[in-house]
Structure 1
């Protein structure tokens, strides 16, 4: 089979199944896993699919598991606001920070004073919130618009983050578990968060009680990457202390 034909069939399979593993494609096309990885890399560059750890997902499947932003905003609002209030105190003048597209970081953005700060984000709502703060420079990632979360995702978003190294990342997730680590319901959001973590000096997770001891679909990172974990007063702190790395500081909002 010629390479263009194989590429066409790979895209068809992923669009039909929504996700596929490298080893499955390797067996199906009787080629090495390394060949399949190169195929997926080329197809991702053409925006035909989104690579994942060990496979790929369809580009048009990005929002399937994501709760609409307006619905998420009202879930545990008070707890998220308590966490955000503490998070603001960890931001200093002249900091360069990442903010993800979570509702908790939007609350953080709403609380930010007009200070000398550079914020990089994939969230349209965070960027809009900070637009009237004259001292805050806002840099947005590129990417494909997720209409569910009003954020930018996909390979372009991930690649744009690779060009920056920042002081701190503030992000949230859908699940935090002793075995599965940090996870999210949406693969494309997980990819963006993972790259933000990679390019940050300090990693700060904002977590309300409902996410603790939960597993979600898409793995982000191991909990050992965390420098600081900010939680609300309903969080099971004893459980968290028993599973996080010794160097991880737990702060209660």
Structure 2
């Protein structure tokens, strides 16, 4: 379905803000539009003060986003990189394990790709639970309830936290909105606190994150980079993974 102009403009801004900078050719590929359309849109968005034109593309005006991207925007952004990350993460999961899956579109893709026969999975994310529940295998799935955040459809708060405090996992797979100064960040205190409990109760903790989130900021820091087992990420032309490797094991 062809995107309406306003939807396309918003999608471009979301892409630019998420990546920091983006080429015209990448916008063309992601949104399936012509070179002329992208350049015209970028000119309009720059005039509106929503981004900055640079040679061959555009750069973001924000390193900190006061408003979290929508679930739909997150699904569009860096989808190729996220699928690559998921394939690497799958190799870390083994039959008979008990794992925790947090909220986020990358984790949702991981759930879609999982084809295990004997695995116990706990999640506080409704889309992850719904995806796993449709699989015809012997997965044991637990959905941790509580108050639901509509944007991510994840559960948090006292009920969720008390349940997770009593659970223990071989491995946890989680994502984030931003990473800066070795601080792993998300948009709300409550969601971050719930994830931190699950991580504290996991023997191994894997952060699934594309490199566009590095050196970005969000509202709440819920975990330290050096406390995770490894970061599963993608390669990029800036060798961002080399920066991460100074602090933590990186799988890419």
1:169 to 169, 172, 177: 172
1:232 aligns with 2:221: no
Q: Any idea what the Cα deviations from partners look like across 1:71-107, whole Å, max 9, x if unmatched? A: 2111111111110111011000001000001111100
1:93 aligns with 2:95: yes
Q: TM-score, length-normalised on structure 2?
A: 0.70
| Structure-2 separation of matches of 1:67 and 1:100 | 17
| Structure-2 separation of matches of 1:193 and 1:66 | 17
1:160 aligns with 2:163: yes
Contact 1:180–1:215, Cα closer than 8 Å, also in 2: no
Q: TM-score, length-normalised on structure 1?
A: 0.69
- Following TM superposition, where does structure 1 have runs of at least 4 consecutive aligned residues deviating by more than 4 angstroms? none
**1:183 Cα shift?**
1.0
* Other-structure match for 1:18: none
* Other-structure match for 1:193: 195
* Other-structure match for 1:75: 77
Structural RMSD (CA): 1.5
* Other-structure match for 2:250: 250
**1:144 Cα shift?**
0.7
| Structure-2 separation of matches of 1:77 and 1:175 | 17
2:129 to 127, 133, 148: 127
| Structure-1 separation of matches of 2:130 and 2:92 | 22
Q: What's the secondary structure of 2:167's corresponding residue?
A: coil
| Structure-2 separation of matches of 1:213 and 1:66 | 16
| Structure-2 separation of matches of 1:153 and 1:69 | 17
| Structure-2 separation of matches of 1:165 and 1:186 | 24
**1:114 Cα shift?**
3.4
* Other-structure match for 1:137: 140
* Other-structure match for 1:112: 114
